[in-house]
C-alpha cells in the first residue's frame, strides 16, 4: 500500500546545526592563532557543506524511493523552471540594490557605490565562492530538503519566516571567526550593521522561497536565486548604511509579494512526496 513520506524537519535542522557549528567553533579558535585564518577558511567551507550532507543522508539513506526520485528530478529537470519567473529572479536583486544605492545618495552616500568592489581578476575568488560554490553547496540542502520539511508542518508564510529565522541564526558562529565578513561587521563601531545582516536574511528568505515554489520546487532555481542575491550583496561598493536601506527595500518586496500573491501564501501544510 502506498504511503506518504514523513519529513523530519527537527532532525534536519538539528543535524545541520551540529555538523556546521563543530567545524566553525574549531575555526573560531584557529583564526586567532598564527597563520590561523587560512585553516579557519577551510573549516568555514567544511561547515558550509552541512546542509547538503544532511539532506543527502536523509534522502538517500533514510528516504523512500519516491523521495529519492523527487530529489533527483528537482535537481536536474530544467523544465521545472518558469521563463516568466526567471525574469523576476534575475531582475529583482539588481533592481533592489541599485534602487537602494540611488536612495542612499539623498543621505550623502557616494555614487561610487555603483562600481564593483575591485578589478575583475582581483575579485575572482569572491565570485567563485559567492556566486557558484555557496549557492551550489547550500541550496542542495536548504531547497533539497530543509524548506519542504518545514512546509510539511506549516503553510507557505510560516515556512518562509521560520526558515528565514533558522537560516539567519545558522550564520551566528561566523561573527566570532576572524577574517569573515560577519566578524568585520561585529567589530564596526555601529552595531546596527551586524544586526542588519541577521534581519536581512528573513525577507530575503520570503523572496527565495516564493521563487522556489513558483519554479515548481526546482533546486536549480534556488541556486540561481541564491547566486543573484549573493552577487548583488558582495560585488558592488554599497556601504553598510546602504545595505540597511537594501534590507528595508527587501522587506517591502516581501510584503508586496505576500499581499499581491495571497493565493501562494494561503495554503496549509503540504507533503509533496508520496509512495513507499
Per-residue model confidence as pLDDT tens digits over 209-241: 999 999 999 999 999 999 999 999 988 899 999
Name the pLDDT band for 187 (thresholds 50, 70, 90). Answer: very high
Name the pLDDT band for 166 (thresholds 50, 70, 90). Answer: very high
> What is the pLDDT at residue 67?
96
pLDDT > 90? residue 2:
no
Chain centroid to CA 14: how far?
18
pLDDT > 90? residue 160:
yes
**Active site residue: 2, 34, 138, 189, which one?**
138
Name the pLDDT band for 27 (thresholds 50, 70, 90). Answer: very high
Cα 260 from Cα 82, distance rounded (Å): 19
Write out pLDDT tens, residues 32-58: 887 777 788 889 999 999 999 999 999
The percentage of the chain sitting over the pLDDT mark of 70, rounded to a whole number, equals 97
The CB-side HSE value for 179 (13 A sphere, CA atoms) comes to 19
> What is the pLDDT at residue 120?
64
> What is the pLDDT at residue 276?
45
Is residue 236 helix, strand or coil? strand
Cα 186 from Cα 41, distance rounded (Å): 18
Cβ atoms within 10 Å, residue 240:
15
pTM as predicted: 0.94
**189 catalytically annotated:** no
Q: What is the mean pLDDT of residues 21-30?
A: 94
**Active site residue: 2, 34, 171, 182, which one?**
171
- Point out the least confidently predicted range of 16-25, 110-119, 150-159, 174-183: 110-119
Percentage helix, strand, coil for the chain under 3-state DSSP, each rounded to 5: 75, 0, 25
**171 catalytically annotated:** yes
Which cell numbers hold the place of 70? Answer: 523527487
The percentage of the chain sitting over the pLDDT mark of 90, rounded to a whole number, equals 79
User: CA-based Rg of the chain, rounded to a whole angstrom?
Assistant: 19
Amino acid at each position: 500500500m502506498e504511503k506518504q513520506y514523513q519529513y523530519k524537519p527537527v532532525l534536519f535542522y538539528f543535524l545541520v546545526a551540529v555538523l556546521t557549528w563543530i567545524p566553525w567553533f574549531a575555526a573560531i579558535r584557529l583564526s586567532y592563532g598564527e597563520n590561523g585564518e587560512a585553516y579557519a577558511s577551510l573549516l568555514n567551507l567544511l561547515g558550509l557543506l552541512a546542509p547538503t550532507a544532511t539532506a543527502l543522508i536523509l534522502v538517500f539513506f533514510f528516504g523512500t524511493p519516491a523521495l529519492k526520485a523527487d530529489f533527483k528530478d528537482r535537481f536536474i529537470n530544467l523544465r521545472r523552471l518558469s521563463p516568466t519567473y526567471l525574469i523576476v529572479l534575475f531582475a529583482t536583486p539588481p533592481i533592489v540594490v541599485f534602487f537602494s544605492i540611488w536612495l542612499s545618495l539623498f543621505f550623502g552616500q557616494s555614487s561610487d557605490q555603483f562600481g564593483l568592489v575591485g578589478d575583475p581578476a582581483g575579485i575572482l575568488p569572491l565570485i567563485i565562492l559567492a556566486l557558484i560554490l555557496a549557492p551550489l553547496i547550500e541550496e542542495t540542502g536548504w531547497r533539497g530538503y530543509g524548506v519542504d520539511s518545514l512546509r510539511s508542518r506549516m503553510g507557505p508564510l510560516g515556512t518562509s519566516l521560520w526558515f528565514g529565522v533558522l537560516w539567519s541564526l545558522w550564520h551566528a558562529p561566523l561573527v566570532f571567526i576572524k577574517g569573515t565578513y560577519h566578524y568585520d561587521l561585529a567589530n564596526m563601531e555601529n552595531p546596527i550593521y551586524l544586526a542588519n545582516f541577521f534581519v536581512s536574511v528573513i525577507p530575503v528568505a520570503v523572496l527565495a522561497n516564493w521563487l522556489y515554489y513558483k519554479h515548481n520546487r526546482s533546486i536549480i532555481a534556488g541556486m540561481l536565486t541564491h547566486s543573484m542575491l549573493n552577487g548583488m550583496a558582495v560585488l558592488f561598493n554599497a556601504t553598510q548604511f546602504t545595505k540597511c536601506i537594501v534590507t528595508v527595500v527587501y522587506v517591502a518586496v516581501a510584503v508586496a509579494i505576500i499581499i499581491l500573491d495571497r493565493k501562494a501564501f494561503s495554503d496549509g501544510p503540504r507533503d509533496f512526496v508520496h509512495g513507499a
